[in-house]
Amino acid sequence: MKNCLLVLLAVFFFASPLHASQSTIAEAEGLACMGYDKSRKQTEEEALAQARRKAAEYASTFIKSETKVKNFELEKDLIEAYAHAAVKIIQEIERTWYKDASSGDCFRVRIKAEVVPDSRMMNRVEQGISVDPSGPLFVQAWTDKKEYKESEKIKIYLRGNKPFYARLMYKSASGDLVQILPNPYRSEKYFNGGVIYEIPSGSDRFDLEITPPFGEESIILYASSEPLGEISTAAQGGVFQVKTRSEDVGMKTRGIKIGGRKEGSSTPHKAAEFFEDTVRVTTRK
């Protein structure tokens, strides 16, 4: 038991997170009518601004309902973080002009947006509840070492504070991007909270062995409380080659499937928790 604890402590010691961020993906609709004093462009901008405000409101309400932080100061930070959130539009799902009997020409827009809370406040929240299942989704990703030599093999570990869907990517020093989880031999994409997962392991049929060129390599984790958006891949041995342009992977992954009804509720989900983390390691001869 003592040896196991020492190994676990060593693993956490070598964790090397570069960037981690928690956000909420939300869908919202905005409506506006031209009346006598607005152009079509102004009407569209008004509807879009309304949709953005609603997305931020949905995200804030969703986080409050999904998280039960017991620490008053942390709860206050969480609420404040979402009160100062930035809204990034992922997709305009619908754009429609229509005639209203009383208001004339009107415009409707429906968006999928990422609501990103204030990072400074969220850092305090994450430090206090990173393993607490009552908090916002937080998934730790780490490796067994910070630096690797040629022929050594990288081991990656994941642990979430509550159940999550995940996609794990590996970017080599040469810039090649592959998806290592799920993969052709391990379709697992849903993970339990509080459990440490090792990659590669089990049915995986690949090793992350260090080969030239050397330099900085990245492990990129995407996680959510709902199934992640699809990207284009092709089987390549024990992993998936990513066919989607690397600069589009993050945005497409954020295309979360929202809309299921929560037990005991008559209204569908309008939001989902999202988490991204990047861990970098250095490789050398």
Q: Residues 100, 102, 103, CA angle at the centre, nearest 5°?
A: 65
Please report whether residue 2 resides in a domain: no
Same domain, 162 and 53: no
Select from 99, 122, 145 the last residue of a domain. 122
Select from 74, 97, 122 the last residue of a domain. 122
- One digit per residue, the tens of pLDDT, for the chain of length 285 reads 334 433 343 444 344 444 579 999 999 999 999 998 999 999 999 999 999 999 999 999 999 888 877 777 778 888 899 999 999 999 999 999 999 999 999 999 999 999 999 988 888 887 777 788 888 999 999 999 999 999 999 999 999 999 999 999 999 999 999 999 999 999 999 999 999 999 999 999 999 999 999 999 999 999 999 999 999 999 999 999 999 999 999 999 999 988 655 544 444 467 999 999 999 999 999
Same domain, 154 and 275: yes
Same domain, 116 and 143: no
Same domain, 155 and 239: yes
Total structural domains within the chain? 2
| Amino acid making up residue 51 | A
Please report whether residue 10 resides in a domain: no
Please report whether residue 81 resides in a domain: yes
Same domain, 27 and 66: yes
CATH number, domain of 197, equals 2.60.40.1930
Same domain, 108 and 156: no
Predicted local distance difference test score (pLDDT) of residue 260: 56
- CA distances in angstroms from 279 to 15, 120, 210, listed in the order given: 8, 20, 16
Place of tokens 């990659």: 199
Answer yes or no: are the C-beta atoms of 8 and 261 closer than 8 Å.
no
Same domain, 211 and 187: yes
Domain extent at residue 111:
22-122
CATH number, domain of 80, equals 3.30.110
Same domain, 54 and 84: yes
Same domain, 158 and 104: no
Please report whether residue 278 resides in a domain: yes
